Amino acid sequence: MFRNILASALCTHSVAGLLRSVPQAQGGMTVTNLRLASVNGSPATLRFGEDFELGVDSNGDFAMGSRASPALTISNKNVMTIQTPSFVVKSLDLQGDFSVMGVPQWRLVHVEDLSGKSATGWDNNLVSECAGIVMLGGHCQFSQGEVTKKLEKLPPHSQIRVKANYHFIDAWVGETGFLRLNVGKDGGMVHVWTDRHSQNREERGVNVCGNEISEGKFSSAVDVALPHNAESLVIGFGSTLDEGDPCDVSFGVSGIEVYVR
């Protein structure tokens, strides 16, 4: 009898009809291989309860959720769409691009983790701590010039974004801090962010670290995005300080992050 019911249901391409025709199994049922396929535009689904379905819709796409509004669909072009008020996962590891409403989102590809109070890959890896912030450079470390690092093997992209916190420490008197990237002609380094500070114009400042001089602008946010598609990037942070002793006036950089999209 079961064979006749099974054959009849398969001929009409309706697994849902098969399950409705077979008496309910009290102890459960094990199926080694079950194929659902849309034939001639007819959906093929498994129904759970009154409204929840799983199967292939009339377009040949996998769908799961209520009949009126599937919560998840996967098209035959391997595009997954989630339509639900909330989506909770314990861990999410993205190996490629991520888009929201068709707009590509920034992907973090490099971060400077200085929690171990050490840096690698820069042409000067000195670090220091100020007000609980571990930074590249800092008091008695960086003053004149520039510190650079080259990032290799970036994933394919059309834009790049660099974020960081630039720290002005001690007696700046109008000099400029800057970020340079090798995005100029023939890969030349060009300034893409600058900021200046004059400590002698501050009143009632707070001495954060370094000498007994207040830091009127201890931290300045760096956030630069621009077109870029090369596999490598050279980053350079520096200053126009003419003071040779970093224990008198200095700069540091923390929270360095590089994104692509």
Q: Which domains does the chain have, with CATH numbers?
A: 2-88 (no CATH), 108-260 (2.60.120.260)
Terminal CA-to-CA distance of the chain, rounded, Å?
Answer: 59
Count of CB atoms within 10 A of residue 54's CB? 15
Give 92-97's long-range contacts (Cβ < 8 A, gap of 24+).
97/261
Tell me the residue type at 53.
Answer: E
At 165, list the tokens: 């916190």
Name residue, tokens 């630039």. 166
What ranges in the chain are assigned the alpha helix state H? 2-11, 15-21
- Kindly give the confidence (pLDDT) of every residue in the chain, 261 residues in length, as a single tens digit, with 9 standing for 90 and above: 444 444 444 444 444 454 455 555 566 778 888 887 777 878 888 888 878 888 888 778 888 888 778 888 898 788 888 888 787 888 877 777 788 888 889 999 999 989 889 999 999 999 999 999 999 999 999 999 999 999 999 999 999 999 999 999 999 999 999 999 999 999 999 999 999 999 887 788 889 999 988 898 999 999 999 999 999 999 999 999 997 799 999 999 999 999 999
Q: Which residue has tokens 């025709």? A: 21
Burial category of 110 from C-beta neighbours within 10 Å (exposed 0-12, middle 13-18, buried 19 and up): middle
From the list 11, 16, 7, the residue with the least C-alpha distance to 57 is 16
